[in-house]
Amino acid sequence: MCGRFTITVDLEDLREYLVEHFDISEMKSEFQLPRYNVAPSQDVITIINDGNKNRVGLLKWGFVPYFAKDEKIGNSMINAKSETLIDKPSFKSSFQLKRCVILADSFYEWKREENSKTPMRIGLSDEKLFPMAGLWSTFVKPDGTKLHTTTIITTKANELMSEIHDRMPVILDDVAVKEWLNPRNQDLLNLSNLLQPFPSEKMYAYPVNSVVNNAKNDSKECILKV
């Protein structure tokens, strides 16, 4: 699964990345950066395509289907398995029509040892930002206000991750991300084929301080190697 991640760049770095990779030159939302311990139920920096252009904004992490009876269901829907998107009623509609990416520059996973769990930080070898495949949804609350939420898609672990956990977030390369965000692409089989483990040789992993275990801690100490 993917239950925590980081986006440790500053606003200027984010602007440059958005222009270079997504042709986005305007940011309307207020982004709090850097973030060293992003957790479920928080707002995350997300990119969608509105049919004409890519747009960046904030969505709440924790997917609430449009037909849900209670928005609290989002607490248990922070991830969606790539292998079952077509079969799950909660995700199928968004898989076809409401795809997005969530930006990060690393994620955390806890490696099981004999009597403990060691927090690990995992990212790309070039230490740059990357897009994680996601889905989004709009839920209308009883009072009529709209709640926009997202989930991170996971896939089977690559060789590096398999030593830590059996799942990992889907990280899209520059070619795949264009197909993923294209709302005119509704070929679910083709889209499913994009959701593959990222190559191990292009990634790193190292243990970090247990301070990251508490989601209230959001400081540079979270990413320090131990």
Known catalytic residues are 2, 109
Give the strand pairing for 167-169 and 117-124.
Answer: unpaired
DSSP secondary structure string, 45-105?
Answer: EEEEE-SSSEEEEEEEES---TT-S-GGGGGG-SEEEGGGTTT-HHHHHHHHH-EEEEEES
Measured distance CA(86)–CA(20) in Å, rounded: 32
Q: Which amino acid would we find at residue 186?
A: Q
Q: Which two tokens stand for residue 83?
A: 């292998």
